[in-house]
Amino acid sequence: MSKFKEGKKRSIVASVTYLLLSVSKIILGLLFFSLVVYADGIHSITDFLTGIVVFVGLSLAERPVSEEFPFGMYKAENLASLVVAIVMAYAGIDIIRSSLFSGFGTIRYPLMLILLEVVSCIVTYWLSRYLSKTPGLKLYSVKAEGIHAYQDTLISLGVIVGVLGEWLNYHYLGKAVAVGVAVYILYQSYFIGKDSLLILLDISDKGAVEGIKKVVYTISEVVGVHEIKVRRAGPFLIASMHLEVPPSLSVKEADELADAVEEKLKESIDSLVYVSIHIEPGSFSGKWRIALLVDKDGNLVENIKDAKRVIIVDTWNKILEEFSLDKGDVRAMAEHLKKRKVGAVITNGKDDLLIMKAYGIGVYYSPVKNVKESLELFRQGALDPDVKSR
Q: 40 vs 351, which CB is nearer to Zn ion?
A: 40
Q: State which of positions 271-290 bind Zn ion (CB under 5 A).
A: none
Part of the chain binding Zn ion (CB under 5 A), chosen from 131-139, 144-152, 260-268, 341-349: 144-152
Partners of 260 in beta bridges: none
Hey, CA dihedral for 324, 327, 329, 330, is it positive or negative?
positive
Stretch that binds Zn ion, among 146-154, 168-176, 323-331, 344-352 (CB under 5 A): 146-154
Q: Hey, which residues between 315 and 374 contact Zn ion (CB under 5 A)? A: none
What character string, x for contact with Zn ion (CB under 5 A) and - otherwise, covers 17-56? ------------------------------x---------
Q: How many residues make contact with Zn ion (CB under 5 A)?
A: 2
Measured from the CB atom, the residue of 151 and 240 that comes closer to Zn ion is: 151
Tell the smallest beta-carbon distance from residue 151 to Zn ion (Å). Answer: 6
Closest distance between Zn ion and the C-beta of residue 44, in Å?
A: 6
Dihedral sign, Cα of residue 281, residue 287, residue 288, residue 289: negative
- Give the range of 32-40, 54-62, 149-157, 280-288 binding Zn ion by CB under 5 A: 149-157
Nearest to Zn ion of 188, 315 (CB atom): 188
When asked if residue 145 is in the footprint of Zn ion (CB under 5 A), the reply is no
**In 3D, which of 342, 224, 217, 215 has the Cα closest to residue 283?**
224
Smallest gap, in angstroms, from Cβ of residue 149 to Zn ion?
Answer: 7
Based on CB atoms, which residue is closest to Zn ion, 143 or 242?
Answer: 143
Distance, in Å, from the CA atom of 335 to the CA atom of 360, rounded to the nearest integer, reads 10
Shorter beta-carbon distance to Zn ion: residue 47 or 244: 47
Q: In the complex, what is the shortest distance from the CB of residue 47 to Zn ion, in angstroms, rounded to a whole number?
A: 4
* Least Å from the CB of residue 344 to Zn ion: 59
Output 22 or 271, the one with its CB closest to Zn ion: 22
Residue 180 beta carbon to Zn ion: minimum distance, rounded to whole angstroms = 13
Q: CB 214: neighbour CB atoms within 10 A?
A: 10
Grouping H, G, I as helix, E, B as strand and the rest as coil, residue 218 is coil
> Residue 208: which residues within 8 A CB-CB, separation 6 or more?
230, 237, 239, 269
Who's near 49: CB < 8 A, 6+ residues apart?
A: 84, 87, 88
Q: Which residue, 152 or 221, has its beta carbon nearer to Zn ion?
A: 152
| Closest approach of Zn ion to the CB of residue 208, in Å | 28
Complex with Zn ion: residue 72 or 180, whichever CB lies closer: 180
Asked if residues 324 and 271 have their Cβ atoms less than 8 Å apart, the reply is no
Q: Which residues contact 271 (CB under 8 A, 6 or more apart)?
A: 137, 138, 140, 235, 236, 237
Collapse the DSSP code of 133 into the 3-class scheme (helix H, G, I; strand E, B; otherwise coil) and give the result.
Answer: coil
With CB under 5 A as the contact rule, the residue among 152, 166, 221, 351 that binds Zn ion is 152
Three-state DSSP state, 15? helix
For residue 43, the minimal CB distance to Zn ion (Å) is: 5
Q: Which helix (H) or strand (E) covers residue 123, if one does? A: helix 110-132
Stretch that binds Zn ion, among 111-119, 145-153, 194-202, 362-370 (CB under 5 A): 145-153
* Smallest distance from Zn ion to CB 176, Å: 19
Of 161, 139, 141, 138, nearest in space to 149 by CA: 141
Strands (E) located in the chain: 224-233, 236-245, 272-281, 289-294, 309-314, 318-324, 344-347, 362-365
Asked if 201 and 220 count as a contact pair (C-beta separation under 8 A), the reply is no
C-beta of 52 vs 375, nearer to Zn ion: 52
Judged by the rule CB under 5 A, the positions of this chain that interact with Zn ion are 47, 152
